[in-house]
Amino acid sequence: MRQLAFIALAILIGAHVAHADPDPKRKVSVLEYRSGSSALPGIARRILDEMSKQTSLQLLGPDQTRTVYGDQLDQALVKCAGDAECIAQIGKKVGASEVILVGVSELGDVILTLQRIDVSSKTVVTRVADSLASKTTPADDQINGYLARLLSPGDFLRYGVIDIVANLAGAAVTVGGESRGLTPIQPLKLHAPATYQIRVEKAGYVPFTTKVALPPDGEIKVEAELSKRGAGSAWYQRWYVLAGAGILVAGAAGTAIYFGTRDSASDRVPVTIVVQ
């Protein structure tokens, strides 16, 4: 009996963990439903924008969802009237794992409701509601607070990849002060956005050091050239190859600065890349 109870408890714990930590890159559709209210114009877009900044979710806004679903999306939302099972059918048709339904209604005050609906189970996973005075809009901090309560904690963990390739085997690699083994090494999946100090060294060779700014969902390839000590003062550093959709931000320009150095300050070669 005790063994059966333990197995049942393990199953319950496993189900809870699986439910609490869904795929942080799952496809999520953000839709808006209004119950006869024109308050909070553009609120779904603001929520979508904040989600895109803070998570790695594959997001479909109302316009993108309409493109996939068809022009009947608005009629379908009215027909569903916020019903989770009905909304889940819309999510299923557009290939989403979840739907975030942003509801706006008025009962004296403006009622803002956010529902996170799981498409497979056709149920509401989490719900957040707030009452706002007429003609007021939530600040960005309030929206971030809604999202923190609505989404899973793992949704806010973002990553990037640093691929370090050296011209020598058996060189020790240190990233962010942590040993990562000897070259050749596999690409490293690391928290982003963040800046990492990289060092590649081997006895008898001049160490390679660089600092890189890793963007969320991006990939940076670092080519480390180690030269023998005393081989001469001529030295160069290759350009870095940057790839990945996460490095491009729609409507904004970002600047990333990388430095490849030898131990001598006179050998420092700055490399600046501007991404637009």
Residue range 125-156, pLDDT digits in tens: 999 999 999 889 999 999 999 999 999 999 99
- Residues 139, 49 share a domain: yes
- Residues 151, 29 share a domain: yes
- Residues 217, 138 share a domain: no
pLDDT for position 234: 44
- Which of 214, 210, 235 is CA-nearest to residue 224? 210
- Is 266 among the domain residues? yes
184: three-class secondary structure by DSSP: coil
pLDDT for position 272: 34
DSSP character string of 256-272: EEEEEE-SSGGG-EEEE
Which whole number is the average pLDDT over 161-179?
97
- Residues 165, 255 share a domain: yes
Q: Which residue has the higher pLDDT, 239 or 75?
A: 75
- Is 104 among the domain residues? yes
The count of structural domains within the chain is: 2
How many Å is the Cα radius of gyration of the chain?
25
Angstrom CA distances, 79 to 116, 180, 247, 263, stand at 19, 55, 39, 68
Which whole number is the average pLDDT over 187-195?
94
The encoded tokens of residue 79 equal 């027909």
DSSP character string of 43-74: HHHHHHHHHHHH---EEE-HHHHHHHH-TTHH
The encoded tokens of residue 265 equal 């300050």
The encoded tokens of residue 11 equal 């199953």
pLDDT for position 37: 92
pLDDT for position 122: 97
- Residues 187, 149 share a domain: no
Of the pLDDT bands very low, low, confident and very high (cuts 50, 70, 90), residue 164 is very high
**Of the residues 132, 156, 180, the one at which a domain ends:** 156
Of the pLDDT bands very low, low, confident and very high (cuts 50, 70, 90), residue 208 is very high
- Is 16 among the domain residues? no
CA distance 90 to 69: 8
Which whole number is the average pLDDT over 86-95?
97
CA distance 220 to 119: 35
Of the pLDDT bands very low, low, confident and very high (cuts 50, 70, 90), residue 252 is very low
CA distance 87 to 35: 15
- Residues 167, 152 share a domain: no
Which whole number is the average pLDDT over 64-78?
96
Which element (helix H / strand E) includes 19?
Answer: helix 2-20
- Residues 133, 98 share a domain: yes
- Is 114 among the domain residues? yes
pLDDT at residue 62 above 90?
Answer: yes
- Which of 63, 43, 13 is CA-nearest to residue 104? 43
- Which of 164, 148, 168 is CA-nearest to residue 156? 148
- Residues 178, 259 share a domain: yes
pLDDT for position 107: 87
**Of the residues 113, 131, 156, the one at which a domain ends:** 156
DSSP 251: T
pLDDT for position 232: 55
pLDDT digits (tens, 9 = 90+) for 213-231: 999 989 999 999 999 987 6
Q: Residue 206, Cα to own-chain centre: how many angstroms?
A: 37
- Residues 269, 163 share a domain: yes
Of the pLDDT bands very low, low, confident and very high (cuts 50, 70, 90), residue 237 is very low
135: three-class secondary structure by DSSP: coil
- Is 10 among the domain residues? no
- Is 8 among the domain residues? no
pTM attached to this predicted model: 0.67
Residue where the block lists tokens 């501007």: 274
The CATH number given to whatever domain includes residue 149 is: 3.40.50.10070
Q: Residue 266, Cα to own-chain centre: how many angstroms?
A: 39
- Residues 174, 261 share a domain: yes
**Of the residues 108, 139, 156, the one at which a domain ends:** 156
- Which of 160, 167, 159 is CA-nearest to residue 224? 167
- Residues 189, 144 share a domain: no
- Residues 227, 143 share a domain: no
The encoded tokens of residue 211 equal 């600092």
- Is 79 among the domain residues? yes
pLDDT at residue 267 above 90?
Answer: no
CA distance 208 to 168: 12
CA distance 187 to 113: 42
- Is 14 among the domain residues? no
High-pLDDT (> 90) share of the chain, %: 71
Which whole number is the average pLDDT over 47-66?
95
The CATH number given to whatever domain includes residue 243 is: 2.60.40.1120
pLDDT at residue 257 above 70?
Answer: no
- Contact (CB, 8 A) for 92 and 76: no
- Name the average pLDDT for the chain: 82
**Where in the sequence is the domain holding 244, given as residue range(s)?**
159-275
